């Protein structure tokens, strides 16, 4: 066997052993004392990274359930990126696609993980609103509102923002939970709970991508929910301006420009 191929086989064997030391033997006659250094280093680094990214998830599981969950991620999931900050996204993919439904898991496992992951993902996002395409002082009714690329609307079956060791729901809420996470000018992150009407308005703004006036979106919303159109325009103008004041809406699209989509969840 060529030397290079043999070396690669040993690398694969070592990686398999580090991921699953109970079932994958180490390559050759490597000393277990030395192997233990690598086993502990990889596992503890991963344990700490995921624990800091998913703090509520970690607390809910306690060490006796958290460590096996991280180990199962190492064994079962095949990551598609070598970047350290992308590992939490890989863990989320594992929960959503690889792990499957297990009787011992919390019913909100994937949703809570997504909620906690969103905070890291938005904090490191390099997306930014283009001031050449957006009028920050535009009229939110007669202009076409634009959602900031640094504002991510989120929707869950469970009240993920309330989950803690003191609140562990066994079933979804009666209504979906609508949230938005957004990054402010000072790079601080905020989560905001939205009522269904405001959540739908924000959804319409995002879908229009700066091509429909605030007035037309509010009239459409009034039709959808069976609300008086004049009243919707009055209250809706306040909603749009509040979303703009918070930084969830970046402004209105400048006339004659097509906004480029740069950020999403």
Task: Spell out the domain ranges in the chain.
Answer: 3-105, 134-253
Distance (Å) of CA 136 to CA 14, 81, 133, 139, 242? 55, 37, 10, 9, 13
Report the chain's mean pLDDT, rounded to a whole number: 90
Q: Rounded to an integer, what distance in angstroms lies between the CA atom of residue 208 and that of residue 40?
A: 50
110-123: per-residue pLDDT in tens?
999 999 999 999 99
86-97: per-residue pLDDT in tens?
999 999 999 999
- Residue 60 exposure: Cα atoms within 13 Å on the Cβ side: 21
Q: Rounded to an integer, what distance in angstroms lies between the CA atom of residue 127 and that of residue 261?
A: 10
SS3 111: helix
**Phi-psi group of 62: left, alpha or beta (phi > 0 → left; psi -120 to 50 → alpha; rest → beta):** left
Give me 199's structure tokens.
Answer: 């959540």
The pTM of the full predicted model, rounded to 2 decimals, is: 0.87
pLDDT of the residue at 1: 43
Q: Domain 3-105 adopts which CATH fold? A: DNA polymerase; domain 1 (1.10.150)
Q: Domain 134-253 adopts which CATH fold? A: Outer Surface Protein A; domain 3 (3.90.930)
């Amino acid at each position: 066997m060529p030397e290079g191929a043999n070396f690669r086989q040993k690398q694969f064997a070592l990686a398999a052993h580090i991921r699953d030391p109970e079932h994958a033997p180490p390559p050759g006659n490597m000393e277990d004392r030395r192997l233990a250094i690598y086993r502990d280093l990889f596992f503890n680094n991963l344990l700490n990274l995921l624990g800091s990214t998913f703090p509520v998830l970690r607390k809910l599981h306690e060490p006796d359930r958290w460590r096996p969950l991280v180990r199962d991620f190492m064994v079962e999931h095949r990551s598609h990126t070598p970047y350290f900050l992308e590992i939490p996204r890989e863990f989320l993919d594992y929960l959503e696609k690889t792990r499957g439904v297990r009787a011992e898991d919390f019913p909100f496992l994937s949703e809570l993980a997504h909620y906690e992951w969103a905070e890291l993902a938005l904090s490191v996002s390099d997306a930014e609103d283009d001031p050449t395409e957006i009028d920050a002082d535009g009229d939110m009714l007669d202009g076409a509102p634009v959602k900031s690329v640094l504002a991510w609307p989120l929707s869950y079956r469970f009240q993920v923002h309330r989950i803690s060791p003191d609140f562990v729901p066994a079933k979804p809420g009666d209504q979906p939970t609508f949230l938005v996470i957004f990054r402010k000018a000072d790079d601080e992150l905020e989560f905001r709970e939205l009522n269904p009407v405001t959540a739908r308005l924000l959804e319409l703004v995002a879908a229009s991508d700066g091509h429909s006036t605030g007035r037309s979106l509010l009239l459409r919303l009034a039709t959808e929910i069976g609300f008086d159109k004049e009243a919707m325009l009055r209250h809706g103008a306040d909603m749009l301006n509040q979303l703009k004041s918070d930084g969830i809406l970046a402004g209105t699209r400048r006339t004659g420009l097509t906004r480029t989509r740069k950020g999403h969840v």
